[in-house]
């Protein structure tokens, strides 16, 4: 990949990663509940989903998903339902100042966080459609495809990890002061719960 083309790819990747969405909300929620360092597990799950999306598009399956209203809507509504479920669960979560229970929450298994991040990004068919429109801009058919897809995937993933961890997860640390009393916890739970539900509703409503 030519340096100028790679710079354009990197610039687009930064803009995409900074666009707020379910992944950013999930990252901030993980950072608040489990700590900044452990939020990386959810971020890695989200990146695994990105790899799957890129593979789907690279293999041509993305065209079938994008052109099949039934397949697209099944995935879209499943993703919306999952986000709404996460939102309702967060919204209804009761404040708990018990130190042992709080520690248990912070010690959520890494695989649980990874799996949630995976599903949050995976159940988003609009990501497939987006990559269908995005990836061809940086792929040259006359050149070997595998190295180009590898560079594209590595670039997008490294940028997204950096933005998610060092911006969204780090930003969530500023809300830590609200977690020390029941009222603050309730505000945060309802805020992030409402955001999850809102993104889920948008995913289901916007065609």
Q: pLDDT tens digit string along 148-196?
A: 888 989 999 999 999 999 988 888 877 766 555 666 667 767 776 777 6
Assess contact for 120 and 22: CB atoms under 8 A.
yes
pLDDT digits (tens, 9 = 90+) for 132-158: 767 777 777 778 878 888 898 999 999
Torsion angle of C-alpha atoms 34, 18, 76, 116, degrees rounded to 10? -20
107 pLDDT above the threshold of 90:
no
What is the rounded CA–CA span in Å between residue 43 and residue 110?
Answer: 11
Q: Where are the alpha helices (DSSP H) in the chain?
A: 3-18, 22-34, 40-58, 61-67, 69-92, 99-106, 110-122, 125-134, 145-163, 170-172, 182-205
| Residue 143 confidence (pLDDT) | 82
Question: Which residues are CB-neighbours of 168 under 8 A, at least 6 positions away?
Answer: 24, 27, 28, 31
Among residues 117, 116, 84, 86, the alpha carbon closest in space to that of 197 is found at 84
């Amino acid at each position: 990949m030519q340096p100028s083309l790679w710079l354009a790819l990197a610039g687009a990747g930064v803009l995409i990663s900074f666009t707020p969405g379910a992944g950013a909300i999930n990252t901030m929620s993980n950072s608040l509940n489990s700590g900044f360092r452990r939020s990386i597990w959810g971020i890695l799950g989200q990146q695994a989903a990105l790899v799957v999306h890129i593979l789907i598009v690279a293999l041509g399956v993305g065209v079938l998903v994008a052109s099949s209203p039934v397949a697209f809507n099944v995935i879209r509504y499943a993703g919306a339902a999952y986000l709404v479920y996460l939102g309702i669960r967060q919204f209804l979560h009761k404040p708990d100042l018990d130190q042992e229970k709080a520690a248990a929450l912070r010690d959520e298994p890494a695989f649980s966080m990874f799996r949630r991040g995976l599903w949050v990004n995976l159940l988003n068919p609009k990501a497939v459609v987006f990559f269908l429109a995005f990836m061809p801009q940086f792929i040259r058919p006359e050149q070997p495809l595998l190295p180009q897809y590898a560079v594209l995937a590595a670039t997008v993933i490294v940028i997204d990890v950096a933005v998610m961890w060092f911006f969204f997860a780090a930003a969530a640390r500023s809300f830590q002061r609200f977690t020390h009393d029941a009222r603050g916890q309730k505000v945060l739970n309802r805020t992030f719960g409402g955001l999850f539900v809102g993104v889920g509703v948008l995913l289901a409503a916007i065609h």
